[in-house]
Structure 1
C-alpha cells in the first residue's frame, strides 16, 4: 500500500558534494549502497545508506534550490530531536548539517516499513503508541519554549486557519462545500476560538502513515518531526485517528482518548473544518516549488476532513460529498 502523501524526491546521488562529504566524515566509512524511500512531501533525499564497514543509517537532506521552505522544517526537526534525545519511539538524531542553504540529518536507520493503518490491530498499536508518546513528551519536555526552539505554536496555526476563511469569501474557486460557505462567519469564529485552548505540550503534529515505521516486531516509530508544535494535549491523539476520518470508526474511536473526550465535539468539529478550509484555500493560492503532488494531496485531504465534519454534524450524504 502506497502512502497518500507521496512527493517527487531527489536521490542521494543528486545531493551536493558538501552533503556527501559531511556524511562520509561523520560516519568514517564510505557509502557503498543506497535505498531511496518514498512517502512525505520533501523534494530532498530520504535514503537508507550502507557503509563499507557495514553500518546502516538514514539520511535526509534538502536545500533552498529544491524548495525555499523545507530547510526550515528540517531545522525544526533538528531542534526537536536534540531536545528529545533518544528513545525507541523515534529515530534518534546522529548528526546534523546546515550551511545556510542545505540542511541534512543523519538518523538511526529503523528496520521496517510504513504500517497498514486500515488494519484494526495496527491502528490499535498506533493509538497506544500515541498515548505513550504523549506521556514521554510531557516527561522529557515539561515546559517547551516555542520561540527559543523554533517550534510551531498551535495558537498561531489556528489563527492563520481562521484567516483563510477570508480567502474563501473572495475566491469562488476554493473547493469548500456549500454548508461552510453559507456560514463563513460562524465557522471562522469557531476556528479562531481554538486559539483560546491551553497549549502546554510538545506535539509531533504530523502523524500519518508515511511518518510512521513499523518494526518487524510490530512496534511503531514516529519519524519526521519537522512540524513539531506546542499545543493542546488532544492534538496528537486526534491526528493518529485521521487516517480513518472518512469512516464512522473515527467518531467511535474519539471516545477512547481522555484528552479528546475532554476537548469535546464542538472543538474537534471546528478543528476539522478549519484544517479542511486551510487546505482547500492553499490548493488555489499556494505556489509549491518542487512539490508537484502537494496540491492534489491538499485537495484530497481537505475533502476527507469536510466529509468527516459533515457526517459528525449529521448534515446528510449530499453535504458530505460536496
Structure 2
C-alpha cells in the first residue's frame, strides 16, 4: 500500500525539489513498517541522497499528525543521538513531506540474529545517558499512551473479545487489569524514549553504529521501557525459529537489571493489553497487516508476561 514519490502532488514535489536545489533522478522505496505514504530513498542529480516521507490525510487521517510529531522530535533530539536529521519540512495542511538525512545502513535480519540483537542492546544501553534527562519539549509517556494502554480494561467491558487468545487471560483478567492500572507510575522516568523500536525502525551501519529512525512516538519515561517495548516484536519474529528466552535477553540490558520487577510486570501488562485489544479492532485505512502484526506481538508479549507472573508465584 506504500506510495511512490510520483504519487505526491506535483506542486508539493516541485517545492521540495526547489528546496533541495537538484531534481530527483532515482527512487528506492523502503520495506517494512506500516506507513501508508511515501518512504523512499531519493537520488538527486548532483549525487546527493535523501530520505523522504510523505503522506496525506486522504491516505490515512492519523498519519499526517504522526509526521508532524516526528518533525518536532527531530528538531529537539540531542546531538549525540544516532538518528537522521530533518533537512526540510513541507506541510500544506493536507500533505506533509519530511526530507531527512539518508543513512547508509541495513535493517537487522529477521528472525533476529543473536549478534545483531546484542549489538542493538549494547547500543541502546550506551545511548541512554545521552537521552537523560530528556529535552523539556518531549511529552511524558503517561500522556502519549494514556488512551492506548487501557486494553485489559477494555477487555473487562467486553470479555468475549478475549476468547481468541486462550483461557489464561480470561481467568486472569482481574489481575491483568489491576497490573495495567499501575503502569503510569511504573513507567515514570526522565529518559527520552523512542517508544516504537522494531527491526524496521533500526539501521545497522557499516561502521557498527546503531541508528534509530522513525521518531513520532518519542516520549519521556523509564530508560528500560524502550527495550521492553521492542521485545514482543523480537520474540514474535523468533518464534518460527524456535524462540528466544525473553528473561535471558532482558537481563542483558543494563537498565533492565535495575528495574523493579513489579514495575516491569505492570508496563508489560499494559503493552500486552494494548497489542491484543487493538488487534481485535477493524483495520485502519490503508494500513494493511497492522492488526495481524499487533496480534503476533500481543501473543508473544502475553507468553512472556505469563512466564514472569507464574515464576513470581512459584
Please classify the TM superposition score into its range, dividing by the shorter chain length.
0.7 to 0.9
- Is this contact kept in 2: 1:162–1:189, CA < 8 A? no
Give the secondary structure class of the aligned counterpart of 1:213.
Answer: strand
2:207 equivalent to 1:217: yes
The structural deviation recorded for 1:15 is 1.2
Cα gap change, 1:263 to 1:212, in 2 (>3 Å): same
The structural deviation recorded for 1:296 is 1.0
| Structure 2: gaps of 5 or more residues | none
Give the secondary structure class of the aligned counterpart of 1:191.
Answer: helix
**C-alpha distance in structure 2 between counterparts of 1:128 and 1:106, whole Å:** 29
Q: Counterpart of 1:19?
A: 12
Q: Once superposed, which parts of structure 1, at least 4 consecutive aligned residues long, lie more than 6 Å away?
A: none
Q: Counterpart of 1:187?
A: 176
Deviates more, 1:264-273 or 1:45-54: 264-273
- Counterparts in 2 of 1:262-301, with a 5 A limit? 262-301=258-297
The structural deviation recorded for 1:173 is 3.0
**C-alpha distance in structure 2 between counterparts of 1:92 and 1:229, whole Å:** 18
The superposition leaves residues 267-314 of structure 1 with CA deviations (integer Å, 9 ceiling, x where unpaired) of 223323321222221122345011121111111111111122223334
Equivalent residue for 2:119, pick from 101, 114, 125? 125
2:197 equivalent to 1:204: no
2:223 equivalent to 1:233: yes
**C-alpha distance in structure 2 between counterparts of 1:105 and 1:159, whole Å:** 27
**C-alpha distance in structure 1 between counterparts of 2:135 and 2:85, whole Å:** 21
Q: Counterpart of 1:319?
A: none
**C-alpha distance in structure 1 between counterparts of 2:190 and 2:81, whole Å:** 24
Give the secondary structure class of the aligned counterpart of 2:280.
Answer: helix
| Structure 1: gaps of 5 or more residues | 1-7, 316-322
Q: Counterpart of 1:167?
A: 154
The structural deviation recorded for 1:217 is 2.7
The structural deviation recorded for 1:248 is 4.5
Deviates more, 1:196-205 or 1:67-76: 196-205
The structural deviation recorded for 1:115 is 1.4
The structural deviation recorded for 1:57 is 0.7
The structural deviation recorded for 1:192 is 1.3
Give the secondary structure class of the aligned counterpart of 2:27.
Answer: strand
The structural deviation recorded for 1:183 is 2.6
- Counterparts in 2 of 1:91-102, with a 5 A limit? 91-102=84-95
The structural deviation recorded for 1:177 is 3.5
Give the secondary structure class of the aligned counterpart of 1:275.
Answer: helix
Q: Counterpart of 1:145?
A: 137
Equivalent residue for 1:32, pick from 17, 25, 28? 25
Give the secondary structure class of the aligned counterpart of 1:91.
Answer: coil
Aligned residues: 301
- Is this contact kept in 1: 2:149–2:271, CA < 8 A? no
**C-alpha distance in structure 2 between counterparts of 1:224 and 1:79, whole Å:** 12
Q: Counterpart of 1:4?
A: none
Q: Counterpart of 2:73?
A: 80
Q: Counterpart of 1:68?
A: 61
Cα gap change, 1:113 to 1:181, in 2 (>3 Å): same
Cα gap change, 1:264 to 1:201, in 2 (>3 Å): same
Q: Counterpart of 2:128?
A: 134
- Is this contact kept in 2: 1:130–1:240, CA < 8 A? no
The structural deviation recorded for 1:120 is 1.7
- Is this contact kept in 1: 2:108–2:202, CA < 8 A? yes
